[in-house]
Amino acid sequence: MSTLEELPLSVEFAVSGMTCGACAARIQDRLNKIDGVEASVNYATETATVRTRFGIQTDELIQAVEEAGYGAALREADAPVGATEEEFAENLQALRNRLVTCALLTAPVFFFSMFESMQFQNWQWWALVFSAPVVTWGAWPFHRAAVMNLRHRATTMDTLISIGVVAAVAWSVWALLWGDAASSYGSMAGMSGMSHGSYHVYFEVAATVTVFILAGRYLEARAKRSAGNALRALLALGAHTAVVLENGVEREVDAKNLQVNDIIVVRPGEKIATDGVVIEGDSSIDMSMLTGESVPVDVVVGDAVTGATINLTGRLKVRVSRVGADTTFAHMAKLVREAQATKAPVQKLADKVSSIFVPVVLLISLVTLIAWFVVDGDATKAFTAAVAVLIIACPCALGLATPTALMVGSGRGAQLGIVIKGVDVLQSTRRIDTVVFDKTGTVTTGVMQLRNVVCAEGIERGDALRIIGALELASEHPIARAIAIAAQKEFGTLPDVQEFVSLTGMGARGVVEGVSVIVGHERLLQKELILIPGPLRTALADARAEGNTAVIAAWGGSARAVCVVADQPKSTSKEAIATLRAMGLAPVLLTGDNQATAMAIALQVGIEADDYHVRGGVLPDEKVAVIRELQDRGYAVAMVGDGVNDAAALAQADVGIAMGTGTDVAMQASDLTIVSGDIRLVADAIALSRATLRTIGANVFWAFAYNAAAIPLAASGKLNPMWAGLAMACSSVFVVMNSLRLRRVKLRHR
């Protein structure tokens, strides 16, 4: 698209140069000031989603972003979210190298300064040599961001960090060149006040602040990538090539080059490249990617098929009906992208307050400098007090408040099999009052199991199961596998099958111990003119009423037995639902399966079986609509799922919780992951997230409270820079110790 071309209603930009959530908010505010524009900027994915009326040009939007101090470029519809994998790995490695190098250089500076026994003649100059790369090259990202913010008349955490580092270094260099710092051995010289005339260097303060903040940035960078991975994983599921039939000749082409009305050939085991209609052949299609259900869908001539689903049994010819962005698969990817964009990153409290805090600290420091100079006339005392104010306000504790709590909380979660993706989810978890569960693979096992065998008069259950299991063992259909597995568990070795034939969409036929056996849908028996006796018809009707799947078997010209199969609830589901109810959370069941099946499962696990708490027959876009409906009603929603079909709903929910036993797409789209698949851990995950958030809040409160108490002391001249440095270190220790309390947080499922 040309930069002069008018934009459609919705467009996405890749945004560069953001360093925190405040940056995203600034860009978003700038874009929303344009008439007719509704923008959402996602710091995690480094994208801006802009919804606009026709007539607004690309240049106008890009200019607005650039005026805010950042870069922007249009994204293609299928482009990866954020940086590429190679770019991300390269950037993370560069940040890791910066952190490790700075930590190694800071270690001797810290020990020289804090332990008098390690000091020697002119150690201060060596401290300068070691710390110089740290406070320049190591802290360069903070200095650069601070300068950029200054250009746009804004302040953030980067401003505080840069000022603190520069102030500590400036004072230390001044003390070395014009003071008597180089002649002093004792690191505690002059700590009792400003009257001793002895100067201390604060290279360790500048260096350790830089290392701590770099460590926090490194942890943040590792977590940021998760949102973009969801869409990458989803796009990877699509077919890359297709076999096109032209004039009787088959040729392989790139799936992107398919056109509407092309004829494609899909063999068993291959992915269907795009949406279309079957014009020749019949088969079973694995639709789990779309519906999340384990039972394949049988298709014949005239049936529609969906791209990225898998052809299981027969050879198909498909006429292409939709390509590119119009396909169901592309629509699912768009749903994930849009849902992520609506979840704007939470502004960190530190970033919000710093916009006021930084100018206030600078003003206090300046007033302190002037006041002391006017009142006392001693430039040294004036500068010392002013520098003490800046150092005491250095945001080391603020920088540690979030990453240390998140690190300890996530470590505790990892021990329990709970993965917390980042700090943003913690903010949302506090408000959760509704938990929406996908059925298949989440509340249930996701595997079809034999529930019952109903036999005609005169037929023994064991004999029927052995014969039916032998025939079904030759089939790959999930229903057949469930019956065969049950038969093998009960009898071990099953008889051999001869003349096996798979009847697509109907069932199977074969010879077992010299007897012709058919198993399948009741339509198959009707086709064979085999009557179904009353008890077996009742069994079929009861199975359907309970939401189960049933097949009927016949041999010797008569219907002999009905096998009922179903996806069973997990043994832990009922307990998990009860725990969530005890926490005051309302459970909702959401599934692509039929309503009868959903109601039956809900009753078994303790979910209220009504049309509000149980939603059956919903497709991926409808799942997103249900989540939005609940959110529009004022509910804070957590979504628990495991399939590709759940990805968009997981992204749309206030908190997305994925089962680790499910697909990578679901896990990447989620905020929390339950590695074991035990949904009892959902309650623990919510409890742990809330505890971690409370700890972060306490840490941030302490960090600011410490400043509020210490700054007046520094300004009054009762706290020289060395005391300020020690106080800052103590505040950091407190934050770390408070975060470590998360290792002992009590959870319900323990």
| Active centre residues (catalytic) | 438
CB-CB contact of 181 with 200 (8 Å):
yes
Contacts of 582 (CB under 8 A, 6+ apart): none
Distance of alpha carbon 681 from alpha carbon 683, whole angstroms: 5
- Reading phi first (left if > 0) and then psi (alpha if -120 to 50, else beta), residue 737 is in alpha
> Would you tell me how many other CB atoms lie within 10 Å of the CB of residue 257?
11
Residue 45, burial from CB neighbour count under 10 angstroms (0-12, 13-18, 19+):
buried
C-alpha distance from residue 194 to each of 1, 70, 87, 501 (Å): 65, 44, 50, 96
**Residue the block writes with tokens 């500076």:** 109
Residues 6+ apart with CB under 8 A from 541: none
Q: Which residues contact 563 (CB under 8 A, 6 or more apart)?
A: 450, 452, 453, 465, 468, 483, 519, 550, 551, 552, 553
Separation between Cα atoms, residue 34 and residue 693, nearest integer Å = 35
Q: Whose structure tokens read 């961001």?
A: 145
Which is it for the CA torsion 355, 357, 358, 360, positive or negative? positive
DSSP tag of 354: H
Q: Of 663, 705, 14, give the one whose Cα is nearest residue 393.
A: 705
Residue with tokens 């303790």: 606
Host H or E run for residue 481: helix 478-491
Nearest in space to 271 (alpha carbons), one of 323, 303, 233, 309: 309
Could you give the 3-state DSSP secondary structure of residue 340? Answer: helix
* Alpha carbon 602 to chain centroid, angstroms: 27
Q: Is the dihedral of CA 7, 8, 9, 14 positive or negative?
A: negative
Cα angle, residue 219 at apex, residues 214 and 220 outer, rounded to 5°: 95
Contact 436, 630 (CB under 8 A): yes
Residues belonging to the chain: 750
Q: Where are the alpha helices (DSSP H) in 179-276?
A: 203-224, 226-236
CB-based contacts of 274, cutoff 8 Å, min separation 6: 239, 242, 255, 258, 264, 307, 320, 322, 323, 327, 329
**CA within 13 Å, CB half, 572:** 14
Closest CA to 329 of 254, 279, 256, 267: 256
Residue with tokens 């000091």: 119
Collapsing DSSP to helix, strand or coil, 63 comes out as helix
End-to-end CA, the chain: 56
DSSP SS3 for 436:
strand
Whether 315 and 269 have beta carbons less than 8 Å apart is answered as no
What does the angle CA 412 – CA 418 – CA 421 come to, to the nearest 5 degrees? 95
Exposed/middle/buried for residue 436 (C-beta within 10 Å: 0-12, 13-18, 19+): buried
Residues 457, 459, 461, 464: what is their CA dihedral angle, to the nearest 10 degrees? -130
